[in-house]
Amino acid sequence: MSAPVKAVDSTTTCAGMMHDLGRRAKEAARVLALAPTHQKDHALTAMADECRARGRDILFANAQDLAEARKTGASAAFLDRLALDDRRVAAMADGLAVVRELDDPVGNVMERWKRPNGMTIERVRVPLGVIGIIYESRPNVTADAAALSLKAGNAAILRGGSESHRTNRAIHGALAAALGKSGLPATAIELVPTRERAAVGMMLAGLDGAIDVIVPRGGKSLVARVQEEARVPVFAHLEGVCHVYVDGTARLDMAKAIVLNAKMRRPGVCGAAETLLVDAAAAPSHLAPLVTALLDAGCEVRGDERARAVDARVRTATEEDWSTEYLDAVISARVVDGLDAAIAHIERYGSHHTDSIVTEDAGHATRFLREVDSAIVLHNASTQFADGGEFGFGAEIGIATGRFHARGPVGVEQLTTFKYRVHGSGQIRP
Amino acid sequence: MSAPVKAVDSTTTCAGMMHDLGRRAKEAARVLALAPTHQKDHALTAMADECRARGRDILFANAQDLAEARKTGASAAFLDRLALDDRRVAAMADGLAVVRELDDPVGNVMERWKRPNGMTIERVRVPLGVIGIIYESRPNVTADAAALSLKAGNAAILRGGSESHRTNRAIHGALAAALGKSGLPATAIELVPTRERAAVGMMLAGLDGAIDVIVPRGGKSLVARVQEEARVPVFAHLEGVCHVYVDGTARLDMAKAIVLNAKMRRPGVCGAAETLLVDAAAAPSHLAPLVTALLDAGCEVRGDERARAVDARVRTATEEDWSTEYLDAVISARVVDGLDAAIAHIERYGSHHTDSIVTEDAGHATRFLREVDSAIVLHNASTQFADGGEFGFGAEIGIATGRFHARGPVGVEQLTTFKYRVHGSGQIRP
């Protein structure tokens, strides 16, 4: 956390201000890394209380942001993401309380072993340092992301969508006040105080060594920019092109329930299925009921020739469809020639996020779980379980599809790293 | 491992050739990821056999490299690193056999838990993918690094120092032949077949998504370039500015043994101590014996005023000395005002590699191990234990000081990542 920080003229420039902000966060991270659990938990309680107490201020700021966004012609969906009301503020405060109840990962001994020379080596969890969070218009991320970072002993630098800057400032004010009341540095949660876009670029460059990891929260273009430009590690997924493969021995009732849930429970989440693959061996009995169930549930189906033969409502899938994340009530569907073809399809078109096989054949399940190279692979369960809460992590800051450090749901534990503690009694190396 | 790979004209250009090499390595990685342990072990045995069988060819190629290096006026130290002889070839083959004996980490279930809905979730080790290794003139790295990558189920792309290209080609020829004999793709270990420096830049850019991680092996300027330019994760340490802090209650005999060993066992390794810190409370009794022992062992000491007062041979330490990695029989030494000052010094000047406290005070030991933010922290043991072999990892590809994924010694286990396997019985998400 204390890599050398270059001296920069910090009086008035955006760069200077960001540099100072990074330096302060780094200093705060050092305090937070050593803060006891009860102090962090006290801060989380105080943060929830402050958010509730300042509810009116937060809603007032939000109303101003909404008015400005309306003037600039923002879409209804955008306005809905931006808007807070009493219920949403309460949910935000409740979310802080949920994070407080999570186990503190810091200090956990992950492994311990003894060497022949008598030394004991421990691998122990420590915080990552400073987490940079770049997000779009949902103001609740301000509280959620800050809370998860704090619980894992990290400082956070938050850069929210500029359309929600008043709301974010009001929420951040509540969080910073709560930190102060708990004896923790208010600078442990920093909000980038400028709408200048250059600030994002500086964060992606690591803010002179101050930022240890970037977490982007938002749409594909934001994530793509972050992945393209970041010079520090990124916890993210660009897209979730998730598959359900219905194998030859799948039970139809189970397959139907899983496919419908995987696509239609919430079509817009990253763990929603985008492609249905049906084994040719199961197609005669399973394809029509599955496709019909999806259509009847209001889902658009884009299929290969076999799927189109089921129902006139099925549209023609193009090559592009197989790699498209619809995030909507649309699914592509095709018949594949058994397990190998299913795995090959997923490896070719998928995004290594979450993929599921429905089968009664244990050998096929084992092979699918082993050979599909995705962060999450499931047997006889819906892809919509791709979620930190559903994994038992309590809360998550996102899902990562990178192969490093955090893969799959990123909860508090994934916001830590480790160090080795060696206990000796005078050992020297021969 | 199968992110889309862009089409590139691959006929004659260096870029095209490197692109093809990356694509082949990625395909091979997929095979290696699923290869059973016995097949990988068979390949490692065959690799050792081939290296022994081709010893004469390897030495012949090495003699040509040495002759060319001598002509260009290479230093004696450089020539020594480059030179092979029968003993070194045998040691290389033995090293391959050591890696074969390591436990295969792939497929290990790291954690397993059951959810209230009956689903079982497993976190299971899988290979990282393709490892790019960029190294300088030591040709044995060709075999060592390839073997560790292979054991962990990864493909390797090797780019050795251009002065050793004939030797590397001969060693690589042996390894590739052995892979073929074991039924594994020879392309699982690729040697960059060009001395063009642009090839390194392409590897650092990730080779069109083919390379998952870069491991640099060599001097500080190589590591600095890799860390500066790489667009993929890097396992490395730039330097090891390691400390031994002799606390007020340290036993003098233990402190002397540890300090001498930490500096003088092998002064040129990254875990060698570069700075001795002595608590003011221990200075009257401990400082002179420690400094004298170092001087008498042939170590240059650069000290603060108190250290200089011990012996006329002690030179004056400048501000720069406190952050210098000598990699030689030189140490800086100063008196600090207790544990807090020692920790502050290490945080300010250290490199977060390896630091040790010598003390009989358990409370001080606990605080030091907790508060010093380094990959490895030791109590009453020499910093020279910073080594994968000494940690029980069997072999290592290097030491990492980054905070992500691999921290400390990087052995076969650190060359893997994980995925989540979920076993259900029809669960859908409410």
Q: What is the residue whose two structure tokens read 């120092």? A: B161
Task: Return the residue of A nearest to B124 by Cα.
Answer: A370
β-partners of residue A189 are A156
What is the pLDDT confidence band of residue A12, given thresholds at 50, 70 and 90?
A: low
Residues 192-211 of B with CB under 8 A from A: none
Instruction: State how far the alpha carbon of B60 is from the alpha carbons of A86, A243, B48, B208, in Å.
Output: 80, 54, 18, 36
B382–chain A Cβ distance below 8 A for any pair: yes
A348–chain B Cβ distance below 8 A for any pair: yes
CB B171 within 8 A of CB B147: no
In this predicted structure, what is the pLDDT of residue A78? 92
Compute φ and ψ for B213, nearest 5 degrees.
-155, 150
Are both B224 and B255 inside the same structural domain?
A: no
* Å between B166 CA and nearest CA of chain A: 34
Chain A interface, best mutation among B410, B422, B425, by max A CB count within 10 A? B422
Are both B26 and B162 inside the same structural domain?
A: yes
Task: Return the residue of A nearest to B405 by Cα.
Answer: A405
Question: What span, in angstroms and rounded, lies between the C-alpha atoms of A117 and B387?
Answer: 14
Mean pLDDT of chain A: 95
Task: Return the residue of B nearest to A374 by Cα.
Answer: B419
In this predicted structure, what is the pLDDT of residue B195? 83
For residue B405, being part of any structural domain is answered with: no
B87–chain A Cβ distance below 8 A for any pair: no
What is the pLDDT confidence band of residue A81, given thresholds at 50, 70 and 90?
A: very high
3-state secondary structure of B278: strand
For residue B104, being part of any structural domain is answered with: yes
In this predicted structure, what is the pLDDT of residue A6? 46
**Would the pTM count as exceeding 0.90?**
yes
Select from B190, B180, B185 the least CA-distant residue to B160.
B190
What's the whole-number mean pLDDT along residues A135-148?
Answer: 92
B235 pLDDT higher than 50: yes
Query: Residue A305 contacts by C-beta under 8 Å, 6 or more apart in sequence?
Result: none
For residue A105, being part of any structural domain is answered with: yes
Q: Which of A119, A257, A260 sits opposite B381 (nearest CB)?
A: A119
In this predicted structure, what is the pLDDT of residue A422? 97
What's the whole-number mean pLDDT along residues A182-200?
Answer: 93
For residue A365, being part of any structural domain is answered with: yes
**The CA-based dihedral angle spanning residues A376, A378, A382, A388, taken in that order and rounded to the nearest 10 degrees:** -40
**A398-400/A408-410 β-pairing:** antiparallel
To which H or E segment does residue B426 belong? strand B416-427
For residue B67, being part of any structural domain is answered with: yes
CB B137 within 8 A of CB B163: yes
Select from B266, B275, B267, B270 the least CA-distant residue to B244.
B275
Are both B315 and B336 inside the same structural domain?
A: yes
A113–chain B Cβ distance below 8 A for any pair: yes
CB A307 within 8 A of CB A225: no
**Residues of chain A found within 8 Å of residue B212, distances taken between Cβ atoms:** 403-404
B8 pLDDT higher than 70: no
Are both A166 and A70 inside the same structural domain?
A: yes
Q: What is the residue whose two structure tokens read 């009530």? A: A329
pLDDT digits over A248-274, tens only?
A: 999 999 999 999 999 999 999 999 999
3-state secondary structure of A190: strand
Helix axes A55-71, A86-101, angle to 10 degrees: 120
Domain count, chain A: 2
What's the whole-number mean pLDDT along residues B402-407?
Answer: 92
Hey, are the CB atoms on A384 and B428 less than 8 Å from each other? yes
Interface A:B, Cβ pairs < 8 A = 187
Question: What span, in angstroms and rounded, lies between the C-alpha atoms of A27 and B92?
Answer: 46
Are both B116 and B220 inside the same structural domain?
A: yes
| Boundaries of domain holding A367 | 242-387
B7 pLDDT higher than 60: no
Task: Return the residue of A nearest to B2 by Cα.
Answer: A347
Q: Which of A378, A407, A422 sits opposite B376 (nearest CB)?
A: A422
Hey, are the CB atoms on A403 and B129 less than 8 Å from each other? yes
Are both B416 and B375 inside the same structural domain?
A: no
pLDDT digits over A371-406, tens only?
A: 999 999 999 999 999 999 999 998 899 999 999 999
β-partners of residue A114 are A120
Are both A65 and A128 inside the same structural domain?
A: yes
**What CATH number corresponds to the domain at position A292?**
3.40.309.10
Question: What span, in angstroms and rounded, lies between the C-alpha atoms of A127 and A419?
Answer: 10
Residues 280-339 of B with CB under 8 A from A: none
pLDDT digits over B353-383, tens only?
A: 999 999 999 999 999 999 999 999 999 999 9
What's the whole-number mean pLDDT along residues B270-282?
Answer: 97
For residue B398, being part of any structural domain is answered with: no
Tokens of A162: 């500029």
Are both B211 and B112 inside the same structural domain?
A: yes
Are both B220 and B317 inside the same structural domain?
A: no
Question: What span, in angstroms and rounded, lies between the C-alpha atoms of A244 and A248?
Answer: 13
Question: What is the ipTM, given to two decimal places?
Answer: 0.93
Select from A293, A286, A291, A257 the least CA-distant residue to A275.
A291
pLDDT digits over B26-81, tens only?
A: 999 999 999 999 999 999 999 999 999 999 999 999 999 999 999 999 999 899 99
Hey, are the CB atoms on A418 and B407 less than 8 Å from each other? yes
To which H or E segment does residue A339 belong? helix A338-349
Q: What is the residue whose two structure tokens read 């060319």? A: B68
Are both A223 and A356 inside the same structural domain?
A: no
For residue A2, being part of any structural domain is answered with: no
Task: Return the residue of A nearest to B255 by Cα.
Answer: A426
**Residues of chain B found within 8 Å of residue A387, distances taken between Cβ atoms:** 429
The beta strand positions in B304-415, using DSSP E, are 315-316, 330-336, 354-358, 376-381, 398-400, 408-410
Task: Return the residue of B nearest to A378 by Cα.
Answer: B422
In this predicted structure, what is the pLDDT of residue B197? 86
**What CATH number corresponds to the domain at position B111?**
3.40.605.10
Long-range Cβ contact pairs of B200-204 (< 8 A, separation 24 or more): B200/B134, B200/B159, B201/B229, B202/B14, B202/B15, B202/B18, B203/B18, B203/B132, B203/B134, B203/B157, B203/B159, B204/B134, B204/B229, B204/B230, B204/B231, B204/B232
For residue A399, being part of any structural domain is answered with: no
What is the pLDDT confidence band of residue B390, given thresholds at 50, 70 and 90?
A: very high
What are the percentages of helix, strand and coil residues in chain B, rounded to 5? 45, 20, 35
Are both A380 and A268 inside the same structural domain?
A: yes
A198 pLDDT higher than 70: yes
3-state secondary structure of A84: coil
pLDDT digits over B311-354, tens only?
A: 999 999 999 999 999 999 999 999 999 999 999 999 999 999 99
In this predicted structure, what is the pLDDT of residue B1? 34
Task: Return the residue of B nearest to A271 by Cα.
Answer: B429
Hey, are the CB atoms on A380 and B30 less than 8 Å from each other? no
* Å between A194 CA and nearest CA of chain B: 28
Instruction: For the beta carbon of residue B195, count every other beta carbon within 10 angstroms.
Output: 12
Select from A197, A180, A200, A196 the least CA-distant residue to A188.
A180
In this predicted structure, what is the pLDDT of residue B194? 85
In this predicted structure, what is the pLDDT of residue B9? 46
Select from A426, A263, A285, A254 the least CA-distant residue to A357.
A254
Hey, are the CB atoms on A34 and B371 less than 8 Å from each other? yes
Question: What span, in angstroms and rounded, lies between the C-alpha atoms of A396 and A98?
Answer: 11
Q: Which of B407, B422, B423 sits opposite A419 (nearest CB)?
A: B407
Hey, are the CB atoms on A382 and B428 less than 8 Å from each other? yes
Render A108-175 in DSSP notation, one character per residue: -EEEEEE-TTS-EEEEEEEE--EEEEEE-S-THHHHHHHHHHHHTT-EEEEE--GGGHHHHHHHHHHH
Question: What span, in angstroms and rounded, lies between the C-alpha atoms of B400 and B405?
Answer: 9
In this predicted structure, what is the pLDDT of residue B11? 47
Hey, are the CB atoms on A391 and B424 less than 8 Å from each other? no
DSSP code, position A284? I
Hey, are the CB atoms on B429 and A390 less than 8 Å from each other? yes
Q: Which of A373, A387, A426 sits opposite B258 (nearest CB)?
A: A426
**Residues of chain A found within 8 Å of residue B417, distances taken between Cβ atoms:** 403-404, 407
**Residues of chain B found within 8 Å of residue A113, distances taken between Cβ atoms:** 392
Q: Which of A382, A404, A426 sits opposite B404 (nearest CB)?
A: A404
Chain A interface, best mutation among B404, B414, B416, B425, by max A CB count within 10 A? B404
Query: Residue A36 contacts by C-beta under 8 Å, 6 or more apart in sequence?
Result: none
| N residues, chain A | 430
**Residues of chain A found within 8 Å of residue B426, distances taken between Cβ atoms:** 251, 254, 257-258, 380-381
In this predicted structure, what is the pLDDT of residue A3? 42
Residues 239-268 of B with CB under 8 A from A: 251, 254, 257-258, 260-262, 265
Are both B297 and B339 inside the same structural domain?
A: yes
A5 pLDDT higher than 70: no
